[in-house]
Each structure stands twice: as C-alpha cells, then as structure tokens.
C-alpha cells in the first residue's frame, strides 16, 4: 500500500468509443490538464493518473509528474503521456496547492481526440467538478505497476 495525500480528483471516468456528436469519428485518446495560477505567488502541485481496462485487473499508474512549480499569473498545459483506448477507465488526481474553492491553483481536465483537438464532453471536468480525496497513491513509493512515461508539460 502506498502513501496517501490530501488532494483533488476527477473520480473515475470511462473513455467512450467515439467523440460525442461526431457520428463517424474515432475515440478521444488524450487527457490534458490546464492549470491556471491566478495568484501573485508561485505555487506547486503534483499530478497523478491511473487507468484500467478490465474489472478486477490491477490499475496502471502513470509515473507522477513530480512537484511542478507554476509561476504566478500563468497558464500551464500538462498532458497525460498515454494514448487511451475505448472502454478504459481513467482517474486524474492532484495534490499540493489545490483547493476545492479555487483560491490557489485552478485546474481543468479535458479528454480529447489528438488528431483534431475535438473535446469529449463526458471527459471534461472544470475545477468545481473536482472533489476532495484522501485516496491518492504515489506508485513510485508504493511499488505499484506504472508506465515508464512522464507527464508532458508545455508552458
């Protein structure tokens, strides 16, 4: 069992077989996280992503981002470095300078199709959609299975 941290999470959500409203399209395959720091102080957070495909099977944990510093008055985009497939269940969580009331970092999680950046409404979480959790496990500390991919950061 890993260490737990207090933070925010999307809770689990399923990757649909196609982007909603696109009758001939393909599935969303990317999860991006937009992080806005509207304060006058540099803030820090760490992000986690877990996903699974079959009930009863162990989750795969994306290697944690490590603590990321978000400069004051900035917007940063993170991308989960996994190509998702229909039917997978995904959960994005974060810990650090994040609060449910948005007084520090403000976070938005977006599922989209990378070929045309079309958003999937069932994979869209505004900051006020995130909820507090004490159940964030750091796979690097827990020895849990994890992918060898790091989060992609663009500022």
29 within domain boundaries: yes
Within a domain: residue 34?
A: yes
Read off the tokens for 48. Answer: 């986690």
Q: Is the pTM of this model over 0.85?
A: no
Q: What's the domain range around 56? A: 7-154
Bridging pattern class, strands 89-96 and 43-52: antiparallel
Dump pLDDT digits (tens) for 79-96.
886 778 888 899 999 989
Is 2 a member of any domain? no
Question: pLDDT at position 148, please?
Answer: 47
Q: What is the pLDDT of residue 154?
A: 61
Q: Are 105 and 97 in contact (CB under 8 A)?
A: yes
pLDDT at 109 over 90: yes
Reading phi first (left if > 0) and then psi (alpha if -120 to 50, else beta), residue 121 is in alpha
- Cβ(70)–Cβ(51) below 8 Å: no
- Which residues are bridge partners to 76 per DSSP? 35
Residue 1 lies in a domain: no
């Amino acid at each position: 069992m890993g260490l737990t941290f207090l933070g925010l999470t999307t809770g689990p959500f399923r990757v649909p077989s196609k982007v909603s409203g696109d009758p001939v399209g393909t599935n969303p395959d990317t999860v991006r996280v937009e992080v806005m720091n509207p304060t006058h102080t540099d803030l820090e957070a760490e992000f986690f992503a877990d996903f699974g495909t079959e009930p009863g099977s162990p989750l795969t944990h994306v290697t944690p981002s490590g603590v990321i510093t978000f400069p004051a008055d900035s917007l940063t985009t993170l991308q989960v470095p996994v190509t998702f497939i229909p039917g997978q269940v995904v959960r994005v969580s974060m810990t650090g300078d994040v609060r449910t009331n948005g007084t520090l970092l403000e976070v938005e999680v977006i599922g989209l199709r990378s070929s045309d950046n079309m958003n999937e409404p069932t994979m869209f979480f505004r900051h006020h959609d995130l909820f507090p959790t004490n159940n964030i496990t750091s796979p690097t500390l827990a020895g849990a299975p994890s992918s060898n991919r790091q989060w992609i950061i663009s500022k």
